[in-house]
Amino acid sequence: MEPIIAIVLVLIGYALGSAKLINQGNEALVERLGRYHRKLQPGLNFIVPLLDQVVMEDTTREQVLDIPPQKVITKDNIYLEVDGVVYWRIKNMEKSFYQIDDLQQALTNLTATTLREIVARNSLEETNAARADMNKALLDELNRITEEWGVQITRVDIQRITPPESVQKSMEEQRAAEIKSRAAILEAEGQQKAAIMKAEGTKTSMRIISEALRTIPDSQEVLRYLEAQEQINASYKLSESKNAKVVFVDANARKAPEMINRISLGEARHEIHHSDDEESDAEVS
């Protein structure tokens, strides 16, 4: 009875030792007597105890590698601090284990070195304007090398490009100057439009005054009216000032309303007379 129990226990131990459960999204490598034997897929797998050994189990899902800040010198000799993030995944489990030692450290060192080389090819302005192009160049360069490691780089993001404080201050001053320049241009355009509108208004006023001088018999009254109007406008401007003053109004200014009425009456008579002449011409024709 005891031998049977011993055999059963040995079989149970063998079964437990030979069964390997691999989680979904992972793969494992098995060596037999120190040499690569096979790869275990997700699910329940069996190996030969004492002969076989699982030497590696890792995920094939996408992973994130944070690259620490790197000191970089640009093409125009500006010191920058650049950091980024690399998204990668294992495509070939055998290569990732047997072709490179300490895969994540190798990826970190390779990315940092390549990042410094690519940024150094550009000036400070180019690094800020062409970040997407640098991400693509970095992705292509990394995949060219990591293919031998059984690794695929899926995406690279340069997160921050930090220039020195003196350079940041200069950039802020430059942006402020550009904003002021655009504001000055807009203000000049507004003043130009206002001047054009004022000139058009003055032209219209001169045309009306010219017609009034031709239609009113006593044109001297019109001139006195214009003089009085200028004096009234000057008085208004003086009264709006905060400084105390005494304003004298010319006698012609007091007569301005009366002159306005007389000019308006004269224009109305001229319009009636002009209309009668047109009707007479129509009857004759």
CA 136 to chain centre: 19
First CA to last CA across the chain, in angstroms? Answer: 147
Q: Is 99 helix (H, G, I), strand (E, B) or coil?
A: coil
Residue pointed to by tokens 């400084």:
243
From residue 75, give the alpha-carbon distance in Å to each of 58, 80, 82, 89: 41, 11, 15, 33
Q: What is the DSSP letter of 165?
A: H
Q: Tell me the CA distances in angstroms from 125 to 75, 94, 152, 183, 223, one per residue in order.
A: 10, 43, 31, 24, 65
Digit-by-digit pLDDT tens for the chain (285 residues) are 567 766 655 556 655 667 888 899 999 999 999 899 999 999 988 888 888 888 999 999 999 999 888 888 888 888 888 888 999 999 999 999 999 989 999 999 999 999 988 888 888 778 877 888 889 999 999 999 999 999 999 999 988 888 767 655 665 556 656 666 776 787 778 878 877 887 777 767 667 666 665 665 555 665 566 666 666 666 666 666 555 455 444 554 445 455 445 544 444 444 444 444 444 444 444
Q: For residue 72, what are its two tokens?
A: 């970089």
CA distance 70 to 85: 12
Rounded distance, CA 75 to CA 126, Å?
Answer: 10
| Nearest-angstrom CA–CA distance, 221 and 19 | 119
204 burial (CB, 10 Å; 0-12 / 13-18 / 19+) is: exposed
How far apart (Å, rounded) are the C-alpha atoms in residues 135 and 127? 11
| Residue that is written with structure tokens 């007389």 in the block | 262
Say which residues have a Cβ less than 8 Å from residue 159's Cβ, sequence separation at least 6. Answer: 83, 84, 85
Residue 223 C-beta-side C-alpha neighbours within 13 Å: 5
Whether the model clears a pTM of 0.95, i.e. scores above it, the answer is no
